[in-house]
A and B are shown apart, each in its own frame.
Chain A
Amino acid sequence: MRRHAALFFVVAALAAATGRSERTTGFFAPAGSFAIEISLENSPYLRLPMGRSAVTSLAIVGDLAVGGTSAEPGKGPFLFAVSLSRRRLVSVLDLDAVVPGQRAIQSGFGRGPNGVIFAGTMPQREGEPGHLLRVTLSEAGVHATDLGCPVAGEGVFALTADAGRDTLYGITHPSGKFFSMSPSDGTRVYDSTAPDAAALATYRRFALEPGDYLSRRLALDREGRVYGSQPISKVFRFDPSTRTIEVLPGDLPAVWDRRVLGRVDSWALGPDGLLYGGNAGDGQLFRLDPASGRIVNLGKPIMMPRLKGLAFAHDGRLYGVAGGQPGYSHLFRYDPTEGFVDLGNPRFEMVGEDLPPGILWRGFQIATLEVSEDGGYVVMGDEEALSQLMVFPVR
């Protein structure tokens, strides 16, 4: 009897040890969370194919999560729409049918009036033009109109829109120039945000390419001024009323001697009118007061670099995604009284046609994070060979 009891103990311990090694517990998996299967190679269902599904731009318009993807070299991206209420991919648009020769929609979306959104594209080959897209949603699905190339020979690396001024703002690739484009004012290009010779020499010493140092996102404050980063580790502000660019006095927060890595990875406009940003270089969260132009380092939510997504939910808290290659993404939330809470690596149950319950998707590499228009759901997009959309409710 004692022998049997001892053996049972051994078996239980073995099972526990095995469970640990597969990490069956400890993931972020709140009640009501789910992962929508949006990519599946050789699929009988509406899905994105392998190597063209990295969700590098994301916006929520009503019930729809609208995504723009990045593809492997030689392949083209997609626009897609997911119904959050139906938990299903409902529309895909192969961008090759609209603008051939593009590889990525990584600019983020800018919001126009009446649910229209805008995005920019990156070309397959450097030196070829990226395009601006006007994206509309209807019962028929996602529709895109080519608005042309804003700057000859340049891709569109980052984009935002001011619906009130009917103006798009962007950062070009590889030069890093800032541009504005509107029906009334045409396209204006500003060179001052591009790296000068000294900055380029510095980047060369660190083997950094434009994709590593250009501002990944742009933001608007309540007055319609535009914010982004420029070399090296600085923040610029464009005032549309004077058409001038100023460089704010402070630096992006940096770890000593890694300042060269600083650039804006993400932005969120807070309910307090302050801007919150993520620094890609070392993954610091910072706050920028548009009134004073002062940047405050709020610290690092996790140990890794990158902070690719930020958004305020209806609970007034800031949700973000930090980290990524060569590690894994962590979700976090932040508010001034609570500080940071590392929510961990998400693992949600997958939903999709003919999927049995219990298939779990783990979000190792998350590129985008947005909240639903009511602030009740956080929606995240993977950037994997086969990427999915992960959703969780904010209680």
Chain B
Amino acid sequence: MRAAAVLVPFVLVLAAVGRAEERPPVETQLLCLDYPGFPDAHSSWGSIGYSTRYDKVYVGVTNHRDRIGLYEYDVPSRGLRLLGFVAEMAGLRTHEWQGKIHSYLVEGPDGNIYFSTDGGEDRQEQLMDHPHGYGGGFFMRWEPATSKLTRLGKGLPFDSIKNIAVDEVTGLLYGISYPQAHLLVYDLLRSDVADLGRLTSGYVPRVLFTDWWGNAYYVDWRQRLVKYERETEHLAFARDPLPSFDGTPGLFVMSGITAVARDREAGIIYVMTYGSRLFAFRPAQRGIGTVEDLGPIYEGSRPRWDYWCRNLARGKNGKLYYFVGGHGRYTEHGDKVLMMELEPRTRAKRHIASFEFDRLLDVPGSGVVDKQGTLYFAARRADPKALAAGDSGSSVPCLLMFNPERPWR
């Protein structure tokens, strides 16, 4: 379906924050598309990615029960379409049900898109080999050239694969399992999955990421960076944690990193933590690398560690964009999600827009930017109709696009 046919008017409630410099109004730079062909769609998560080879954005959308739609947004034609449902396309049998894609959709050096699947709901954890139990998450590969989805195998029995990352040099896949937080290294060429063991505590930090040498990064329960050094096949732990603000609860510390955004030219990966703090991480091919503290993501009336944000994207203008608020953690502006712009060199932050819940409720998927500099977010908005039609917790997932440089129309 052509994007133009599903454009949803995206009315913004702009906060009276700062003067609009010499730039178009933010609302003209935003576009939000609903996903066609999936009436009981409930949500999308970190499940978004971009194919540089085919100039397409991919998103996993779920009913958070047993159906996952895989969507493709074709950037040149602005067309958003349902490619199909994962279970049907991958030939999953009934007992191999999957609840959602929580992982990123990452582009391998072969031009294919990789992701992993997740049980999604309570029954994944304790039912196990019960007839209603969850057998475990799959590594998956989508081949844009042939429109083929292939299951590449499981990680740990009964565990979801919460997130994945790809070594863009060799195609090695990394996965983090849920709930046991085992780091998995999947060598597709050798068809070998190595379990490197448990890395963290009673919460599974959601973000796993790679640098440009193919090294992978995660955090332990003290929020210390853990690096899998690809060439040496060795795990290295940072000596010190990523700093937290005074008073940050341990629950937030152990929740680790919530989002990353890359600046390849500058050699920086921007890292956001659950404790609402931003860092410029400069990875090194060997050793952990260096971390520069960029400060709080938001400064308001709440403690500095208490702002919910799990999304981050970097525009071609070098600025970072993110949405603050969600899951009961909102700013002094009340029940709104705030859009922020941050200039990393000066650390200056601007609140550039506010959204009521029926416009924007949560933005779990991010970090995607196309060749033209448009940023893509996997977002969701509250909708009483969706709640009435679906199960508890339903929302309306949508693909949110933002171009910091130019208006859409």
Contact = CB atoms under 8 A, between A and B. Distances in A.
Interface of A: 3, 6-11, 13-18, 20-23, 27, 40-42, 44, 50-51, 303-304, 326-328, 347, 349-350, 355-362, 364, 384-386
Contacts of A50: 197, 235, 237
Instruction: Tell me which of A8, A10, A362, A364 has the highest count of chain B C-beta atoms within 10 A of its own C-beta.
Output: A10
Contacts of A303: 128-130
A14 B197 contact: no
Interface in B278-296: none
B122 A361 contact: no
A22 B357 contact: no
Interface stretch (B3-11, B52-60, B250-258, B342-350): B250-258
Instruction: Tell me which of B197, B253, B361 has the highest count of chain A C-beta atoms within 10 A of its own C-beta.
Output: B197
Given A350-B221, A361-B221, A362-B179, A13 B158 contact: no
A149 B236 CA distance: 36
Contacts of B394: 10, 13
Given A11-B361, A21-B122, A358-B251, A16 B196 contact: no
A209 to B, nearest CB: 19
A360 B202 contact: yes
A3 B392 CA distance: 18
Interface in B196-215: 196-199, 201-203
Given A356-B250, A364-B180, A18 B197 contact: no
Given A22-B203, A359-B254, A10 B395 contact: yes
B357 A21 contact: no
A6 B386 CA distance: 11
Instruction: Tell me which of B122, B201, B203 has the highest count of chain A C-beta atoms within 10 A of its own C-beta.
Output: B201
Contact of B327 (A7, A18, A27, A386): A18
7 contacts: A10-B394, A14-B395, A23-B125, A327-B128, A350-B201, A359-B251, A360-B203
A10 B248 contact: no
A237 to B, nearest CB: 35
A11 B202 contact: no
B357 A7 contact: yes
Contacts of B335: 7-8, 11
B238 A42 contact: yes
Contact of A14 (B120, B239, B251, B393): B393
Interface string B222-254: 101000000000011111000010001111111
B384 interface: yes
A326 B235 contact: no
Contacts of A20: 121-122
B341 interface: no
A328 B236 CA distance: 27
Given A20-B121, A21-B121, A9 B384 contact: yes
A356 B244 contact: yes
A10 B383 contact: yes
B260 interface: no
Interface string B328-363: 100000010000000000000000000011100110
A46 to B, nearest CB: 15
A92 to B, nearest CB: 18
B197 A360 contact: no
Contacts of A350: 201, 221, 250
Nearest to B122: A20
B387 interface: yes
A14 B362 contact: yes
Given A51-B197, A327-B128, A360-B201, A11 B382 contact: yes
B157 interface: yes
Interface string B92-128: 0000000000000000000000000000111001001
B179 A23 contact: yes
B156 interface: yes
B357 A11 contact: yes
B254 A15 contact: no
Contacts of A362: 179, 201-202
A193 B237 CA distance: 45
B387 A10 contact: yes
A283 B128 CA distance: 16
Contacts of A27: 202
Query: Ordered nearest first, which 5 A-B pairs have the shortest CB separation?
Result: A385-B197, A17-B393, A358-B250, A359-B250, A362-B202
